[in-house]
């Protein structure tokens, strides 16, 4: 497989099939990657065999995904209010867990910690209901419009308070990083559910109030495509118009509302070209693909991205 240079690859691809961390990373190395993102399902057990690989230089770590390592607590999983908890004890606990993620990232030489900062709390999974209507009746259906309006009203009503609390949490983690003298970014990730924070405009609001801090946008391309299709924001317009520092990108394709596919290979078109400039500019570039993506598809997808980047840069 072609050497993937400074591109990194997330362990979300194969973590469910491996209890042994070394075997998991060796499978990724076989794809040609020299760097990995350790995702939030990596356990302390995995780390017992991963850490010797990091220490020996067998693999580099580009980023870790908060909460890291895995914590078996639904109050602090990746789909939770996390840094935006109204309950102050839980908010502080979330910040403490993020400090732990930062410590691991620094220990492993990672450039960034990827963070799901929070969400507006709904009764039941309104996002899943909307996606089901989208799939069966379409975005232009009356059923979708009615439920979307309900969701949006509650989101717009509650998001400002959540953003204030998330801002406070990010201030605290920034002060921690500054006090320690660490060189690591905090990337707040564009999300896959319509009630989750941040949108791109919310990311600009947060980062503009944290200028000079390590906080930037972690632009998850597939998630942003999905939120655009659902109607939450205009992805490309906002990406081009807003002034948001970029911490890194997750590279994957969304087909309809199904994400984590290989760009170009699974969509079989060139629509992904509009994201090449962002990939080019990103300080950290991570493929975040699902297990259904086969090694030969990953190779084909990467080759197309590299060739298109070379043409864009005038080197081909």
Contacts of residue 288, Cβ cutoff 8 Å, sequence gap at least 6: 10, 12, 13, 37, 220, 222, 250, 251, 252, 260
pLDDT of residue 152: 98
Asked whether 287 and 298 are in contact (CB, 8 A), the reply is yes
The pLDDT value given to residue 206 = 98
Cβ atoms of 7 and 285 within 8 Å: the answer is: yes
Q: Please tell me the distance from the alpha carbon of residue 84 to that of residue 202, in angstroms, as a whole number.
A: 13
pLDDT one digit per residue (tens) for the chain, 316 residues: 879 999 999 999 999 999 999 999 999 999 999 999 999 999 999 999 999 999 999 999 999 999 999 999 999 999 999 999 999 999 999 999 999 999 999 999 999 999 999 999 999 999 999 999 999 999 999 999 999 999 999 999 999 999 999 999 999 999 999 999 999 999 999 999 999 999 999 999 999 999 999 999 999 999 999 999 999 999 999 999 999 999 999 999 999 999 999 999 999 889 999 999 999 999 999 999 999 999 999 999 999 999 999 998 876 5
Q: How far is CA 209 from the centre of its chain?
A: 21
C-beta separation of 287 from 151 below 8 A: no
The pLDDT value given to residue 315: 67
pLDDT at 1: 82
- Our CA angle for 272, 254, 84, nearest 5°, is 115
Task: Please tell me the predicted confidence (pLDDT) of residue 120.
Answer: 97
**pLDDT given for residue 245 in this prediction:** 98
Element (H, E) at 143: helix 142-180
Helix 142-180 to helix 200-208 angle (10° resolution) is 30
Question: What one-character-per-residue DSSP string does 98-126 give?
Answer: HHHHHHHHHHTT-SEEEE--EE---SS-H
Instruction: Give CA–CA dist 2/308, Å, rounded.
Output: 16
Which pLDDT belongs to residue 314? Answer: 79
What is residue 202's predicted lDDT score, i.e. its pLDDT? Answer: 98
**Predicted TM-score of the model (pTM):** 0.96
CA–CA separation, 303 and 258 (whole Å): 23
Q: Are strands 8-10 and 35-38 parallel, antiparallel or unpaired?
A: parallel
Looking only at Cα atoms, what is the longest distance across the chain?
Answer: 58
8-123+159-312 CATH: 3.20.20.150
């Amino acid at each position: 497989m072609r050497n993937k240079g400074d591109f990194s690859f997330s362990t979300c691809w194969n973590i469910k099939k491996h209890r042994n961390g070394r075997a998991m990373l060796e499978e990724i190395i076989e794809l040609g990657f020299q760097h990995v993102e350790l995702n939030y399902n990596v356990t302390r057990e995995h780390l017992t065999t991963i850490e010797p690989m990091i220490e020996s230089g067998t693999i580099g770590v580009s980023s870790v995904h908060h909460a890291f390592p895995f914590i078996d607590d639904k109050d602090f999983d990746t789909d939770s209010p996390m840094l935006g908890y109204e309950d102050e004890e839980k908010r502080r606990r979330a910040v403490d867990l993020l400090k732990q993620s930062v410590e691991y990232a620094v220990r492993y030489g990672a450039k960034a910690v990827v963070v799901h900062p929070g969400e507006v709390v709904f009764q039941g999974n309104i996002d899943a209901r909307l996606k089901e209507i989208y799939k069966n009746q379409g975005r232009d259906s009356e059923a979708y419009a009615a439920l979307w309006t309900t969701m949006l009203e509650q989101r717009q009503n509650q998001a400002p308070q959540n953003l204030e609390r998330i801002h406070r949490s990010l201030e605290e983690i920034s002060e921690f990083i500054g006090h320690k003298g660490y060189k690591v970014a905090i990337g707040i990730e564009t999300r896959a559910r319509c009630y989750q924070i941040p949108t791109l405009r919310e990311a600009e609001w947060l980062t503009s109030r944290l200028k000079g801090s390590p906080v930037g946008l972690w632009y998850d391309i597939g998630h942003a495509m999905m939120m655009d299709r659902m109607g939450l924001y205009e992805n490309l317009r906002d990406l081009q118009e807003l002034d948001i520092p970029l911490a890194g990108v997750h590279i994957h394709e969304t087909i309809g509302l199904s994400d984590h596919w290989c760009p170009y290979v699974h969509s079989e078109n060139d629509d992904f070209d509009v994201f090449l400039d962002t990939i080019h500019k990103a300080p950290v570039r991570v493929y975040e693909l699902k297990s259904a993506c086969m090694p030969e598809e990953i190779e084909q997808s990467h080759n197309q991205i590299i060739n298109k980047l070379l043409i864009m840069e005038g080197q081909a």
